[in-house]
Chains A and B, each alone.
Chain A
Amino acid sequence: MKRRYRGTPGEHVVWLNFKDGSHPYGGGAEEYMHQVTARMVDAGQRVTIVTSRPRGAARRTHVRGAAVRRMGNAYTVYPLALLWLLRNRRAIDAIVDACNGIPFFSPLAVGRRVPVVVLIHHVHQAMFHQHFRFPVAQIGRWIERVGNRVVYGVRTIAVVSPSSRTEVRKVLGLIGPVHVAANGQEPLLVPGATRSEVPRIVCVGRLAPHKRWDLLLRALPRIAELIPDVELHLVGDGPCRAELTALIAELGIGDRVTLHGRLENSHRNRLLAAGWLTVCTSEVEGWGLAVTEAMSLGVPAVVLASPGLRDCVRNQLTGWVVARPQHLAGQITSALIELEDTAVAALWARRCRAWAGRFTWDATTDRLIGLLAGEDARRANPDQREICDLSTVVDLPVHLAARIDYTRLSDVDQVDWDLPDPADAGSMRVRLLLAGYDECDATALLQRAGVDTEPPTTWIWVARPADLLGWKRVAGQRAADLRTYFKHQAGVGTGMGRV
């Protein structure tokens, strides 16, 4: 079968998403879509976003270079999008089918002709019951679980965090290869920002039922017993606003809680940068974008150990992961007391910025393109290799990394490297994440490339969930420059690079 997509300029990618950024309920998934599609357009690809059409929105428009086709409402967008795909199937090279509970079932329209990657931010099984009644909730749950499995089969699934991967396997039982394509984020800059004088908690997120802001509001009176001047700022809007306003009145905490609604970005960032702490009480998230954004401004987080959130916080390093909601008040109180010391707070801020800095939209886009190219390669030449969630990390010095031909690796493998040390460039180390490989497979691969696999020169270990995050580049056809770069760095280290 002929290859259709290699991630090169001119190829046409269709992104199916229930909402777009202009939708009143647009959130993290839409931000993800627009950030990635804008970079695909910058890379010379043609991108079409197919989405629903809220009242008053234009049917056709362009967002950061990507064509947007809006059609139907929250329900009718699915059949209309299928018809659109059917009509345009010959002009499509790859599809990102975002599953917001209900997927678009794009393979029904394009069959095996076009590579389809299913993008799942998080599993919605629990949310159907929060938003719908019987029998719609049951139907939704069935479609997400069974429909997904039947229609997408062994097609590649992209998730935004290791927790989402677990959910996709355990709850939905999907059988295709699952890869993590974590959210990136724009570096947030707030020049001249100063920390608030009083202990301030700043939270950003939709006022939606699954966010469980009520847990935080109910914890606040207990926090205020030890920290009387604590204040809470909630940025965001949503269907729970009236309910939360009533709860604030009922708890008598109106003097210390401010519901800001949606704020313009610069205003929001300034408010966030002045916070001591951010809190996320969501029951389920694909990825805590609001949390990592706060971290990029040096604000640590207290989060519930829910899927997605526990991935974006390194417990005790960039924040605190709380196992149970009843521990929230105690943990927030002790965190605020710890952060009272400005020197300690500065340490936390440094660690938070370093961790958040690993997540860039460029890396996310590279990963998505790699997954589409990898899926196309599987479609064109199905390999007999079994689907396995195991990955292996190889950590090797740059002079050995320069021996590897990265174009021979798979498009789903990833590469990361240290920043070159000007004093000793040869000490730079390179890491590979080999998807579907165990240590023996990785050792065999390296030995074929003539790489010494003995410690302490090279380290090989099975990837832990945290190892799946924060990679710079994907390997495969588009990684031809990596070998040259590593050769140069190795040459600089031995003095040969200057010759």
Chain B
Amino acid sequence: MRQPLVEQRSQLRALTVDLELILAVCNGEDAIREQLAAATTWLLALGVAAGVAVVDRGSSDRTIEAVDEFAVRTLVPVRILGCSASGWGAAALRGVRTSRARFVVFTETPDLAGRIRELDHAVRVLDGGQHIVCLGPAGRRLTVLQRAVAELLFSDELPDDAGFVPRLRDIPRHAGIRMAAHGSSRATAVDATLVRSR
């Protein structure tokens, strides 16, 4: 049997990074290289240490091999793990639970070209005391959360896809969670900010 490299084994234990982009994929052999290239190129430009966690939801193709091949060629730490439970939300929760990052990112479009300033801004907002930052309209949504908050929210209600907007409910567990939603009605400008302080 092929013996995997040490870094390919037991990747449930993530490297310590400040921010981790979580990609839940299934049978994405054809697209995953481009997605990772698009994401990691811009993550390198971010002011914080960033990594990528690819959560495989049971691919029958060579998605994992494609990620392996990419991971050895990039400076951004890329880890791959599996999730046998069905649904995008379960995979997202697996990624969150196994992450060691302070912040986790979910994006509908892994191509972060032109969005790195938004991401940088989100990190600064989170550093400023917010727990969740949602950026962009549906279809281009980027959600950055504190890892512990993401775990709490996902444990309550699994999101359906990467375009989710966290739902803060009026329950004691959600008390004190602060979310900043930066919506945009025009492509170029952030024109509205909603901060719900609880």
- The smallest beta-carbon distance between A443 and chain B, in angstroms, is 8
B65 near A440: Cβ-Cβ < 8 Å:
no
B83 near A438: Cβ-Cβ < 8 Å:
yes
What is the number of residues of chain B that contact chain A, defined by CB distance less than 8 Å?
29
B1-39 toward A: CB 8 Å interface, digit per residue (1/0)? 111100011111100000000000001000000000000
Interface stretch, picked from A375-383, A404-412, A457-465, is A457-465
CA of A443 to CA of B94, assembled, Å: 14
Partner of A166, one of B4, B8, B11, B60: B60
B4 near A464: Cβ-Cβ < 8 Å:
yes
B117 at the interface (CB under 8 A from A): no
Partner of B10, one of A166, A314, A416, A460: A460
A170 near B10: Cβ-Cβ < 8 Å:
no
CA of A431 to CA of B4, assembled, Å: 13
CB-defined contacts of B13 to chain A, threshold 8 Å: 455
B58 at the interface (CB under 8 A from A): yes
A390 at the interface (CB under 8 A from B): yes
B122 at the interface (CB under 8 A from A): no
Within 8 A of B (CB), among A374-396: 386, 388-390, 392, 395
B156 at the interface (CB under 8 A from A): no
B81 near A439: Cβ-Cβ < 8 Å:
yes
CA of A204 to CA of B27, assembled, Å: 34
Within 8 A of A (CB), among B41-100: 56-62, 64-65, 68, 80-86, 94
A386 near B1: Cβ-Cβ < 8 Å:
no
Contacts A166-B62, A439-B10 given; indicate if A462 touches B82 (C-beta within 8 A): yes
Partner of B62, one of A439, A440, A465: A465
CA of A314 to CA of B1, assembled, Å: 11
A467 at the interface (CB under 8 A from B): yes
A312-353 toward B: CB 8 Å interface, digit per residue (1/0)? 001000000000000000000000000000000000000000
B56 near A390: Cβ-Cβ < 8 Å:
yes
Contacts A461-B10, A462-B80, A466-B2 given; indicate if A440 touches B94 (C-beta within 8 A): yes
- The smallest beta-carbon distance between A55 and chain B, in angstroms, is 40
- The smallest beta-carbon distance between A319 and chain B, in angstroms, is 15
Query: By DSSP majority rule, is chain B's interface helix, strand, loop, or mixed?
Result: loop
What is the number of residues of chain A that contact chain B, defined by CB distance less than 8 Å?
35
A402-441 toward B: CB 8 Å interface, digit per residue (1/0)? 0000000000000010000000000000010000111111
A386 near B27: Cβ-Cβ < 8 Å:
no
Contacts A390-B82, A436-B84, A437-B84 given; indicate if A460 touches B2 (C-beta within 8 A): no
CB-defined contacts of A471 to chain B, threshold 8 Å: 1
Among residues of A, the one whose C-beta sits closest to the C-beta of B13 is A455
CB-defined contacts of B1 to chain A, threshold 8 Å: 358, 416, 431, 467, 470-471
B58 near A388: Cβ-Cβ < 8 Å:
yes
CB-defined contacts of B27 to chain A, threshold 8 Å: 169-170
B60 near A455: Cβ-Cβ < 8 Å:
no
- The smallest beta-carbon distance between A327 and chain B, in angstroms, is 19
A165 at the interface (CB under 8 A from B): yes
A461 near B84: Cβ-Cβ < 8 Å:
no
CA of A165 to CA of B59, assembled, Å: 10
Contacts A166-B61, A464-B64 given; indicate if A455 touches B85 (C-beta within 8 A): no
12 CB contacts below 8 A, A to B, read A165-B60, A168-B60, A390-B56, A390-B57, A390-B83, A439-B12, A440-B12, A455-B10, A460-B10, A461-B11, A462-B82, A464-B64
Residues of chain B whose beta carbon lies under 8 Å from any beta carbon of chain A? 1-4, 8-13, 27, 56-62, 64-65, 68, 80-86, 94
